[in-house]
Amino acid sequence: MLDSSEQETKTFEPLIVAFCCNWCSYAGADMAGTARKAYPANVKIIKVPCSCRVNPTFILRAFQKGADGVIIAGCHPGDCHYTSGNYYTRRRLTLLMSMLDFLGVDKERLRLEWVSAAEGNKFAEVMTDFVATITTLGANVKLRDLRCQK
């Protein structure tokens, strides 16, 4: 017999939003698909032109609308299609993670990873790992907006 809290974690399926850059990580997800590498279906991918297109507002909005974790995936440093976009992303996300932590929100809910178009394996690994982390953390309550619950 499981107690209610245990039951909850067993049935909890996190919602993960992945912002993937068009040139590397989105193609990396494709590669994972063609290579038949399985990764959890909890991950919902949103394609962006570049990881630096991701405004911090997008991330917060995803959390508001019920995402339990947000991951931003872009080209490896030095490989950006636009030469330097991901360097800006890195600075911004470092500060945003630190700010979430400062406000007492789990900073593990936000992640930045570099996945190239050839790294189908890495894409699947990163996503599996992230989903596992978020499943342990449980549902995102602190950043969820009641108005978005339908």
Residues forming the site for another protein (CB under 8 A): 56-57, 60-61, 64, 77-78, 84, 87-88, 90-107, 111-113, 141-147
- The residue among 34 and 89 lying less far from another protein, judged by its C-beta, is 89
In this structure, is the dihedral angle defined by the CA atoms of residues 58, 64, 67 and 69, taken in order, positive or negative?
positive
- The residue among 84 and 136 lying less far from another protein, judged by its C-beta, is 84
CB of 14 to another protein, least distance (A): 17
Best CA proximity match to 137, nearest among 99, 102, 98, 111 = 111
CB of 34 to another protein, least distance (A): 27
CB of 142 to another protein, least distance (A): 6
- The residue among 45 and 97 lying less far from another protein, judged by its C-beta, is 97
